[in-house]
Amino acid sequence: MSRYSFTHSVPVPPEQAWAVVSDHEGMASWLPPVRTVVLETAGSPDRNGVGAVRALHAVGPAIRERVTAFEPGQRLAYAAVSGVPARDYTGEILLRASGSGTVLTWTIEFRPLFPGAQLVLAGAIGGAARLLARRLSR
């Protein structure tokens, strides 16, 4: 099992960071090369919450993820349904208040389907975490 964590401090409170983290369809605005994100299944009771399935459309087949935990202002967890070169892929974004800002930690865990897949996934999510931090720092 491969596990990677990426941590960034951002100058906004957790509630403001949460508004961006939990907006699935808005991901395309800060996460190139994703062109669109479609909410294929709404969560319950929150539309973007547990059970929601989002499809990230970039190059090639869509990456589909199901939200498995949704704790406003604190935690969003998800599991890949399809489109990633891994088995048992899960991700979690944690937000923790720190002074007047937030510490954002994005952790992924998975079993690579082929040698080197862990480098691709770690690089992609590490880059996504940097882009998210940059978006929250504007």
**Region 36-43: what's the mean pLDDT?**
97
pLDDT of 57 > 90? The answer is yes
Whole-model pTM: value is 0.95
- Residue 18's alpha-carbon distances to 58, 74, 79, in angstroms, are 24, 7, 19
- What average pLDDT does this structure show over 80-86? 95
Which has more pLDDT, 60 or 11? 11
Stretch 22-31: mean pLDDT: 95
Average pLDDT of the chain to the nearest whole number: 96
Beta bridge partners of 55: 38, 64
Into which CATH architecture does domain 2-137 fall?
2-Layer Sandwich (3.30)
What stretches of the chain show up as alpha helix (H) in DSSP?
A: 14-21, 117-137
pLDDT at 102: 98
